[in-house]
Amino acid sequence: MFYFIYINGEFVETKNRQAVINPASGEVIAEAGVASKDEIELAISSAREAFDAGAWPRISLEERKGFLLKISQGILDKAQELARLETLNTGKPIKESTFMDIPSSAKTFEYFANNLEGFLKEETRELENARSRLVREPHGVVVLIVPWNYPLLIACWKLAQALAAGNTVVLKPSSLTPLTVLELARIIQGTGLPKGVVNIINATGDVSGELLCADKRVDMVSFTGSSEVGKKIIGYSSKNVKKLIMELGGKSAGIILKDADLELAINGSLCSIFLNQGQMCTAMSRILAEDDIYDKFISGFVEKAKRIKLGDGLNYETQMGPLISKAQREKVIEYVEKAKKEGAKLLCGGKISDNPELKKGFFFELTVFADVLPKMSIFQEEVFGPVVCVSKFSDADEAVQLANATDFALACAIWSGDTALAQKLASQINSGVCWINTYGMFYNEAPYGGFKQSGFGKELGREGLLEYTRLKNIVTDQTQGTKPIVNYWYGF
């Protein structure tokens, strides 16, 4: 099957093509078009034209809402097909794509459709002898660059917000996982959205990055991916100064206090690192356990980790799939070897699965390191795989100090029976999101995003939508008889 790219309302059969791989088997599942330099140019100019001269930024909010609802429904209509495709392309268990990725993608469009009018409402402020109207406008052309771990979901978060705000878009999925996003193009075409409003191209980042992010016709770049690539994008975008959202990497800490419900903390922590094969920006890849319960936590955690069933994501019994690629698995192996050399204690996993049925895929065993110290690379660097390190702390102050001891500041999870203490720690921890006695719940209503090397800007919620708008201040004189002092400043 061949997946076309989508420019100016049409599917384009590109000259360049690439194979798309199923990471569970290493087999080719489809071919996707790869945009050339000219096709990237065309995508940008189509989005520009659609914004400057097209109907989209000028239609009523009610009509805009209607289009978003149609996209949401289109995703739901194809939910089963999309879930299967997402699992085939990413390897994630079908339970995750069926119950998380696909319905959440549809729900985000529905949420912003139903709330855009309220969120974009203008505000009036009475000033001294003047009135200010604060008006939310779309930025214009927005480039959306998304990673491979949640290909459709992250694309839909960005797309729903960008469109709800009235922008036009060039969307670029990761070339490892372009399929569901290219399928989304069919849904979008079916809604009758004006041509050029959404353009979806597939290309590798090194070829397309500078073309997309430095271009003068692009007003905003919303990026989710690694901190390393994020820094490059900030560099490209600085050439013509653009509004940016950067959702980057993480090395988040799950803190287990001695008064936590241990079973809850163990089960939640398993999910917080092994869901999606640990390939989550918010993965709690560092677990900090209080010394009183450290040994008990570790033995319960490792015992359950060993029972998580590795396999092909299409099998409903599978609880963890393969890593996204051979290269990603090699990167994970490098981190594991380094951790061992630096003295971390390997408690389970740490190697490629030796199950003969999984030989062809990019599987890696669930890996737990204990006695990890802050100076070790496994404590500091993002692995992006099913590898967790556990460290010990002796009081709440030390927990905060350890949690804050990396360059990242994306998320944390605190497990405790004392909610007042947990709230206090949450206020001291350097992270954009803190979960207390839960993990990883993303709500369309609640903004999400990191600090420090984890990036800046918010996605979701009212604040997320407003990132995709610019705020205009229109000041009108209100002096009696319209005689503002400025008219007499020079005494004329």
Contact footprint for ligand NAD (CB under 6 A): 145-149, 172, 174-175, 204-206, 209, 224-226, 229, 232-233, 247-250, 281, 382, 384, 410, 450, 454-455
Phi and psi angles of residue 80, each rounded to the nearest 5 degrees, phi first:
-65, -45
Q: Which residues are catalytic?
A: 247, 281
387: closest CA among 285, 308, 275? 285
Shortest spacing between CB 196 and ligand NAD, in angstroms = 22
Which two three-digit tokens encode residue 151?
A: 């290909």
Asked whether the beta carbons of 127 and 155 are under 8 A apart, the reply is: no
Maximum C-alpha span of the chain: 91
Question: What is the C-alpha separation between 211 and 221, in angstroms, rounded?
Answer: 12
Based on CB atoms, which residue is closest to ligand NAD, 197 or 246? Answer: 246
| Torsion region of 461: left, alpha or beta (phi above 0 gives left; psi -120 to 50 gives alpha) | left
Based on CB atoms, which residue is closest to ligand NAD, 57 or 464? Answer: 464
Pairing mode of beta strands 27-34, 2-3? parallel
Question: What is the C-alpha separation between 385 and 388, in angstroms, rounded?
Answer: 9
Which whole-number Å values give the CA distances from 223 to 89, 158, 226, 456, in the listed order? 21, 9, 9, 10
Which two three-digit tokens encode residue 16?
A: 């360049």
Asked whether the beta carbons of 168 and 198 are under 8 A apart, the reply is: yes
Question: What is the C-alpha separation between 423 and 428, in angstroms, rounded?
Answer: 9
Pairing mode of beta strands 455-456, 243-247? antiparallel
CA angle 220, 221, 225 (to 5 degrees): 165
Question: What is the C-alpha separation between 459 and 469, in angstroms, rounded?
Answer: 13
Asked whether the beta carbons of 36 and 5 are under 8 A apart, the reply is: no
The four Cα atoms 183, 189, 193, 196 give a dihedral, to 10 degrees, of 80
Q: Looking at 307-465, which runs of residues are DSSP E strands?
A: 345-348, 367-370, 387-393, 408-409, 411-415, 433-436, 451-452, 455-456
Asked whether the beta carbons of 105 and 153 are under 8 A apart, the reply is: yes
Asked whether the beta carbons of 365 and 349 are under 8 A apart, the reply is: yes
Helix axes 294-305, 262-274, angle to 10 degrees: 50
Residue type, 112: F
Which two three-digit tokens encode residue 247?
A: 């959702």
Expressed in percent and rounded to 5, the helix, strand and coil fractions of the chain are: 40, 25, 35
Shortest spacing between CB 227 and ligand NAD, in angstroms = 6
Is the dihedral angle over the CA atoms 416, 417, 423, 424 positive or is it negative? negative
Residue with tokens 């999101």: 433
Distance of CA 430 to the CA centre of its chain: 19
